[in-house]
Structure 1
Amino acid sequence: MEAKGPNNRMRSRINVLTLAFIALGFGLVGIRLLYMQVFHRDFYVQEATSLQTRDTFITPNRGVIYDANMQVLAESAEVERITISPKAVVDQNKTASAEEQQQTLATILSQKLKIDYDEVMHKIEQTDTEYQIIAEKVDKDIAKELYAELEKAGCTGVYPEADTKRYYQHGAFLSSVLGYINSENNGAAGLEMQYNDELSGTAGRVVRLQNAKNIDMTPETEQNIPATDGNSLVLTIDSDIQNYLEKHLETALADNPDARDGVSGIVMNVKTGEVLGMANLPDFDPNDSYRLMNERYINELRENVAKILEEKGISETIPDKWYQEGGLSNLPKSMQENEDLVKKLGNARANILYKTWNNPVVSSNYEPGSTFKLLTVASAYELGVAHAEDTYTCGGSLQVENWPIKCHNTSGHGTQTLTETLMNSCNVAMMQIAAKTGLERFYQFTKAFGMVEKTGIDLPGESKGQFADPDSDNWNEVSLATASFGQRFTVTPLQELNMVCAIVDDGKLKKPYVVKEILNRDGSVKSTKQTEVVRQVISEDTSAYMRQAMEAVVSDGTGKNAYVSGYRIGGKTATSELLPEKDAEGKTIDTEDRYTASFIGVAPMDDPQIAVLVAINDLPESAPHGGGAIAAPVVARIMEDVLPYIGVTPVYSDEENDRRELTVPGVIGSTEAQAAEKLRAAGLEYRVVGDGATVTDQVPSSGMRIPASGKVILYMGESRTEEQVEVPDLTGLTPEECRYRLEEYGLYLKQKGVASAQVTGNTTATRQSPAQGTKVSVGSVVTVEFSDMTGVSDR
């Protein structure tokens, strides 16, 4: 029996039902589309765009930092950021397995970019993500080599992005002033931080559409918003002056290895407040700011780490690489899992890094010591309670209320004039002078000279003086007495130097600054900084007296080791005591007293142009620690380089004739009488070798400059030998002994340091150039620096 099919009525019902279901389906789809495209259109457009859009930020070039002569100190250059899309690394069309493709890419990236393979592989395996940064700040030549190797290996999923890298042209040069930038391209210290908004510029963007396979859609969909580069800075810093400063500070640090906090220095334009040079050593390289380079800091870190390991009972050794570079991966694996230990080690290293980045002349306080006596005398002179003809008697100490306070010369200075109190750096006289000024007026002058407020310099992290509150019981006759010679309160080195500039520049206190101009990105001038006089503190007459007194400190007082022939140098020495360092429990750490040795010099005193401060920080009593002994000679070396550089011509007094340098005339072929006439006209004496009729040779040769005290050798009928001689060791010899010793070798003495009028039996050679044992030609000049410890004590 045949099966019956649907009749017409059934077919009609089926068709109706089918149409109904179709209509219902389309209706639901329509409703859904209406919901998505009308009522929630913005939401779904945004979702679709986020899935298809790749948005890349373009880092702008930071502005250039120039010195005062438009030499580039810091600039940015285009580099690349290497990124991957883990989803696009594996190509299913390749015969190699997905794991093999990932391993090949990880190997190439880690080798070419010198990064850890496991770290790269971990990022490649994040296949649920579309963006991973592999390396930043990659130089273009390295990136080019990388792409060539990736193409050769057929690797996919690697994308370059535009980036910038900061380059500091001279490494550690001026590092504490320039600062450095962090990984986000923002300033993290120094001028980079202070002027970050000016230097940063505005980031750009590249917006492009990609499909599900991370392949760019049509180029027309790409939007490019260019980055705007930052503005540039022109500094007051002169690179040549900065170089002189750093060179001589390096010598000072080498000569004083016990200086626990290194050495610091500032060179300032007296008349404008412009900082011409500023340095602290040890320093750091801002191109690699997290790397410790200086052995002094590395050894300090080793000591701190040794204490941590001892506390933890750990005997395992930490590799040298960790001390230099840090990083978890540079620690032994047994330590990497100890979170508490890793944290303590990281903090110990961070503390040392902060020390390298710090700019102590701006941000660290110290007891200024005897350089502050300039304020004590200037204030009293201005008030009329002290006069140049006044006398003060020092018996070695002074009873203030119930406290006997000693002078550094416990035997006493006897009776002195006001100027002599500064020349002798007498504490007793300063206490007597300050007592006449009085508590309230002394504090008001301290405030007027800017010692209790920030100078306002355009550098970050500036500190201010910590002085007794005038309304508290802490400000009393005893604290006035100790303050009169610069103890038991603190200021920054910058405040102290700025105060001295005001004293010698007709009493005008100025706001110091480091940035002279800000340039727009097209090179036009956006703004220029002008000298800003904060206030008039003392009169021109008082300032004139202080200049004379400061010059006497160098010519006849404790500052005699700052003497530079041909220049009128003034200044003040200081040896300030440091309060004992204590541990967390309040116990004293130091086993002996410690000091800061400093000197502030000004020149030329008839028309002051520059002021220089040098501080040798945190010295033990067992090491040389007097400001007049070890800091004053450093300032003299700086002055000797800087003054001719800025165009100050040396002028020699009659007493300095032996320090003059004279040009040797040519006398070959002359008779002895003719030669003698020429040499005497040039101011030179001579001696004869041989008995010929005419001069056949001479030493030194024509055109050379030798000290006025040197004698020209005339060879009559004989030829000099071209043999070389070894420079003898002159250390510890007096100037006269050096001159005779060098004459024996046919060499000439150029004498530096300590005015001839101040030379004593204790004036001895401390350094020489060329060094002992160096072979030189007969007739060469040997420069010898002399110093004298007699009468330079100042604490």
Structure 2
Amino acid sequence: MKSQDKNGTNKKNKNGNTSNPLDILQGRLIIILIMIGIAFAALFFNILFLQRKKEVEYNQKILSQQRYDSRDLPYKRGDILDRNGTYIATSEKVYNIILDPKLINTEQDKYLNASVGILKDVFGYSEEEIRGVIADKSDSSYVKYKQNITYDQKEAFEEKKKEYDKWYKDNKKDEKIGGIWFEESYQRQYPYGSTACNVLGFAGNDGDGYTGIEQSYNDELVGIAGREYGYLNDESSLERVIKNPTDGNKVVSTIDLNIQKIVEKHISEWQSSVGSNMTAAIVMNPNNGEILAMATSRAFDLNNPRDLNNYYTAEQQAGMDDKAKVDALNNIWRNYAVSDTYEPGSPSKVFTVASAMEEGAINGNETYNCRGFEEIGGWKIRCANRNGHGEINVTEALMESCNVAMMDISRAEGGQNFYKYQKVFGFGSKTAIDLPGEADTSGLVHTADNAGATDLATNSFGQNYNVTMVQVAAAYSSVVNGGAYYTPHVVKQILNPNGSVIKNIEPELVRETVSAHTTAFINEALRRTVAEGTGSAAAVAGYDVGGKTGTAEKYPRGNGNYLVSFIGSVPAQSPEVVCYVLIDTPHLGDQARSAYASSLFSKIMTEVLPYMNIYSNVDENIDVSSFPSAEGITDSNTPAESKSYSTEEVIPNDGKNDLPGAPAGEGE
């Protein structure tokens, strides 16, 4: 078609020829396309040239982004040892079965039946389940199929694999075991099951510690995982780099496994024969704060800590939702000796007398007239002996656990000083024991600012304020050891994985509570409490034992429920060991007898003392007048005919005219 001008005629070019603009445009497009084609061809040949020239280098860059045999190398969690070097928590090497479904599925006829068959034969796994996993995870090269395979099981698999491979070869079968390998791991083991479970705690599958030493020393026990990975070298060969793991440190506890077993044995015997809502005991060294044993009747298997069968029926467990199960487990794992509070009862009388002596409110020679009650603030607050003890001195007040004498002593001391010493003895604050979950009692103890006359009176014999077992044990230890309050603790050393000491946890002296003068008086009074007074059931044949009984009526008052206890020290005059036993709500009609706890103390100490090489300290010729405050309290100054030392327990509370929350008959 020829180009026309506006008059309809064709245009002529400079040569006189007519031209079409569309033809010109098409020509130009053809030229452009040719040039683009030439450019692409040049680029292609250039890429091909470069690829051939630097093929190895480019392959390295691409392939190095991929993972070759890359895996984590697990560390070994640090061991926990008792004070004698016995392993009480350790980690054993185990193996995980890893499947490679992607490989198996690439040649199913070759790998599938053989691999499924050997897993079924060696381990007894379900063939249907294995095939289902391989099918469902067909795109994955790493599936952790089973965990915690032992070394012996792994070796059995390897031996069976040799048999399979030989059979396939001999029978010219085109089958082979593939896509199965073993990954190293560690499993936490507790060789002694539930022993020391309240102190040890346990490590979960995530590698972290839960409760006990496992939790509080988790940062020491964990290690650093290693890494194995591959890369291509300059010749495109696969090279491996291994960064070895760093194992966790070892923790040496203050616990003596043998003493722990003795304590747990006797708690178990008590629970099996009589039982209680809770029975617990602490054995400690009063001279450095080391806990030698700590046990409760709420035990669990450290190797299977989530087993509820010992505490709940199958029907009860079936009715629990997830929250209820968690709550149930937390209750089982809870360490009563550290995490629960209660009214201490009469062991607190030791602190009432000690603080009054320190302040000079008494010198130990005072006498009091016990009529069986005192009226304070409009309340009739009763003694255990409703008929009254009559005239009684300070030592006898401890021996007979007289509430009236304690009220008189605390009144002479005054509220300011009494509550100052409550703080000095650690009541109302945490001990800072190196175990998790210690109860906060700051709001459960009176102060001079908020305590009235009745509060002071009832607090003097251990009611209307709350404590923990570890608080009482630490405070009592300071009174009988000469006044040194040590932080109670359950760990004494940190070792590196090779066993070298990297840290000694030295005894921490926090403060001085009482003088040697007061200690001497208290220790002699406590010796006589066991020898002649309410603590006779705590006696250990051949040993000089000191201690204090306790019988505290529980809330709500008047229901006949009691918490009974005994805390004692041996030898009485220079203690090397303290033992605190508590029984919460004995399963008996007559609960209000501290002798239950005292006799349990005696049974424990009868075995512990010889084991600790603590020899008899009984000296029939001991001259108690040698003690700084002994004057006026020796037998020669206390006519036998004028005293009546009864081992009778608390007289039941009749609920009449008594201070709410304070039983009339809180006994020893």
Same fold (TM over 0.5): yes
What corresponds to 1:24 in structure 2? 40
How does 1:349-428 map onto structure 2 within 5 Å? 349-428=325-404
Which residues in structure 2 correspond to 1:273-672 (within 5 Å)?
Answer: 273-292=289-308, 294=310, 297-299=311-313, 305=316, 323=317, 344-466=320-442, 467-470=444-447, 473=450, 475-580=451-556, 592-619=559-586, 622-626=588-592, 628-651=594-617
Q: Could you say if the C-alpha distance between residues 95 and 140 of structure 1 is closer, same or farther in structure 2, counting changes exceeding 3 Å?
A: closer
Cα displacement (A) at 1:105: 7.3
**Partner Cα distance (2:528, 2:131) in 1:** 69
CA distance in 2, matches of 1:478, 1:292: 44
Cα distance in 2 for residues equivalent to 1:402 and 1:122: 77
Letter in 1 for 2:566: F
1:179-328 paired onto structure 2 within 5 Å: 179-208=201-230, 220-257=238-275, 259-260=276-277, 262-292=278-308, 294=310, 297-299=311-313, 305=316, 323=317
Q: CA deviation at 1:64?
A: 2.0
Aligned residues between the structures: 583
Task: Tell me the CA shift for residue 208 of structure 1.
Answer: 3.2
Q: How far did residue 220 of structure 1 move?
A: 4.2
Residue 673 of structure 1 corresponds to none
Counterpart mapping for 1:699-718 below 5 A: none
CA shift digits 1:17-74 (9 cap, x unpaired):
789536415637979999xxxxxx99x9998555434432111112222211112212
Contact 2:116–2:131 (8 Å) recurs in 1: no
Report the CA distance shift for 1:629/1:104 in structure 2 as closer, same or farther (over 3 A). same
- Is the alpha carbon distance of 1:452 and 1:29 closer, same or farther for their aligned partners in structure 2, counting shifts above 3 Å? farther
**1:620-643, CA deviations, whole angstroms, 9 ceiling, x for partnerless residues?**
6x5343452200011111222122
3-state SS of the aligned residue for 2:72?
A: strand
Q: Say if 1:506 and 1:538, in contact at 8 Å, map to a contact too.
A: yes
For 1:670, the equivalent position in structure 2 comes to: none
Structure 2: segments with no counterpart, 5+ residues: 1-28, 51-56, 166-175, 622-639, 641-645, 652-666
Scaled by the length of structure 2, what TM-score is found? 0.79
Q: CA deviation at 1:124?
A: 5.0
Alignment-mate amino acid for residue 454 of structure 1: K
In structure 2, what residue type is equivalent to 1:73? I
Distance 1:416 1:231, change over 3 A: same
**Distance of aligned partners of 1:599 and 1:26 in 2 relative to their CA distance in 1, 3 Å threshold:** farther
Change (3 A) 1:117 1:430: farther
Describe the superposition over 1:529-576 as per-residue Cα deviations: whole angstroms up to 9, x where unpaired. 222211111111011100011111111111110011221101111122
Q: Deviations over 1:428-483 (max 9, x none)?
A: 2212211222222111101001112211221122224343452754x222222221
Q: CA deviation at 1:123?
A: 6.5
**Cα pair distance change 1:601/1:219, threshold 3 Å:** farther
SS in 1 for 2:270: helix
1:131 aligns with 2:108: no
Contact 1:598 1:627 in 2 (8 A): no
Q: Are residues 189 and 109 of structure 1, via their aligned partners in 2, closer, same or farther at CA, if it must alter by over 3 Å?
A: farther
Give TM-score scaled by structure 1 length: 0.67
User: Considering only aligned residues, what root-mean-square deviation do their CA atoms show, in Å?
Assistant: 3.5
Structure 2 contact 483–519 (Cα < 8 Å) conserved: yes
Q: Which moved more, 1:223-232 or 1:283-292?
A: 283-292
Cα shift readout 1:343-387 (whole Å, capped 9, x = no counterpart): x43333322322222221112212111111111111112112123
Structure 1 128/507 Cα, relative in aligned 2: closer, same or farther at 3 Å? same
CA contact (8 A) 2:427 2:445 kept: no
Equivalent-residue separation in structure 2 for 1:613 and 1:33 (angstroms): 87
Percent of pairs identical after alignment?
32
State the AA in 2 paired with 1:250.
S
Distance 1:195 1:33, change over 3 A: farther
Give the equivalent residue in structure 1 for 2:80: 65
Give 1:506 deviation, angstroms: 0.9
What secondary structure does 2:209 align onto? coil
Greater Cα radius of gyration, structure 1 or 2: 2
Amino acid across the alignment from 1:528: N
| Contact 1:108–1:150 under 8 Å retained in 2 | no
Give the corresponding residue for 2:70.
55
Offset of 1:649 from its aligned partner? 2.0
Q: Which amino acid letter does the alignment assign opposite residue 225 of structure 1?
A: K
Runs of 4+ residues deviating >4 angstroms: 13-20, 28-34, 44-51, 100-110, 115-120, 147-151, 217-220, 651-655
Q: Structure 1 residues 22 and 483, CA, compared in 2 at 3 Å: closer, same or farther? A: farther
Q: Which ranges in structure 1 are unaligned for 5 or more consecutive residues?
A: 1-12, 35-40, 211-216, 306-322, 324-330, 332-340, 581-589, 656-757, 759-787
Report the residue type matching 1:135 in the other structure.
K
Match of 2:124 in 1: 111
Counterpart position of 1:81: 96
Contact 1:266 1:277 in 2 (8 A): yes
Equivalent residue in structure 1 for 2:196, among 174, 180, 197? 174
Q: 2:236, 2:398 → 1: CA distance?
A: 82
The 3 A distance-change label for structure 1 pair 47 and 488 is farther
Contact 2:416 2:448 in 1 (8 A): no
Whether the 8 Å CA contact 1:560–1:792 is kept in 2: the answer is no
Shift, 1:509, TM fit = 0.9
Question: Which one scores higher on RCO, CA 8 angstroms, separation ≥ 6?
Answer: 2
The letter for the 1-side match of 2:312 is I
Aligned-partner residue type, residue 185 of structure 1: G
Could you tell me which amino acid in structure 2 is paired with residue 637 of structure 1?
K
The alpha-carbon distance between structure 1 residues 557 and 599, as it changes in their structure 2 partners (threshold 3 A), is same
CA distance in 2, matches of 1:426, 1:546: 15
How far apart in 2 are the matches of 1:624 and 1:159? Answer: 64
Cα distance in 1 for residues equivalent to 2:45 and 2:650: 99
Deviation of residue 578 (structure 1)?
2.5
One-letter code aligned to 1:600: I
User: 1-side partners of 2:289 and 2:265: how far apart?
Assistant: 23
The answer (yes or no) to whether the contact 1:451–1:491 under 8 Å persists in 2 is yes
Post-superposition CA distance 1:596-619 (Å, at most 9, x none):
221101010121110001111233
The residue identity in structure 2 corresponding to 1:612 is C
CA contact (8 A) 1:109 1:120 kept: no
AA paired with 1:229?
A: D
Q: Does the residue aligned with 1:222 lie in a helix, a strand or coil?
A: strand
Cα 1:143/1:218, change in 2 over 3 Å: farther
Contact 1:90 1:102 in 2 (8 A): no
SS at match of 2:569: strand
